[in-house]
Each structure stands twice: as structure tokens, then as C-alpha cells.
Amino acid sequence: MTNKRQVEVFSAGCALCDETVSLVERIACDSCEVVVLDMREDEVAARAQELGVRTVPAVAVNGKLAACCEGAGPSESELRAAGIGREAVQGR
């Protein structure tokens, strides 16, 4: 008896999310059970939070966020470094 690999794809329905869904479905094998989850649903958002999802699209395999999806998402320090929250200087 073969154990199925549970693959959860967290999506917000955008074009990038759709590309990831297509990729996962294309490379999935018979041992993979792919489930696409809509982040706009409260239950899905709660599940994503449990797994540490910070950005979408994201993929978890057997309840563990895939390494490619472990990015922390935006942080205040990174946003400030990009110039958000800084007054613009005239002439620049």
C-alpha cells in the first residue's frame, strides 16, 4: 500500500498563483494528492498561518512548507529600506 503525499497549494486566485497550481499539477505523480486552497477563506488563512505561510502562492508537502516558500514576506525594515515612510526630499 502506498502512502499519498498531501500537497497543499495556497492561492489567492491571481495569475502567479494559477501558474503555481498548474506547475504543481503538472509535476505531481500518482503518489501526490494535490489540494488547492483559497486564501480568501478564513479556515484556509488559519491553516496557512499554522504552517508559516507569509506570501502566496505557497506550497506545503505533508504539512511542511516547501523550502522555496519559506520567505518571510515583507518586513517593516525592508519596506523602510526601500523608502517607505521616508519624507521625499524636493529635487530628488
Taking only the tens place, the pLDDT of each residue in 40-90 is 999 999 999 999 999 999 999 999 999 888 887 767 787 788 887 777 666
Alpha helix ranges (H) inside the chain: 15-27, 42-51, 76-81
Question: Residue 73: phi, psi to the nearest 5?
Answer: 75, -175
- At 19 the pLDDT is 93
Residue with cell 517593516: 76
User: CB-based burial of residue 18 (10 Å sphere; 0-12 exposed, 13-18 middle, 19+ buried)?
Assistant: middle
- At 90 the pLDDT is 65
Residue with cell 488547492: 36
The ranges assigned to domains in the chain are 5-81
The fold of the 5-81 domain, in CATH, is: Glutaredoxin (3.40.30)
pLDDT band at 3 (very low <50, low <70, confident <90, very high): confident
- At 88 the pLDDT is 66
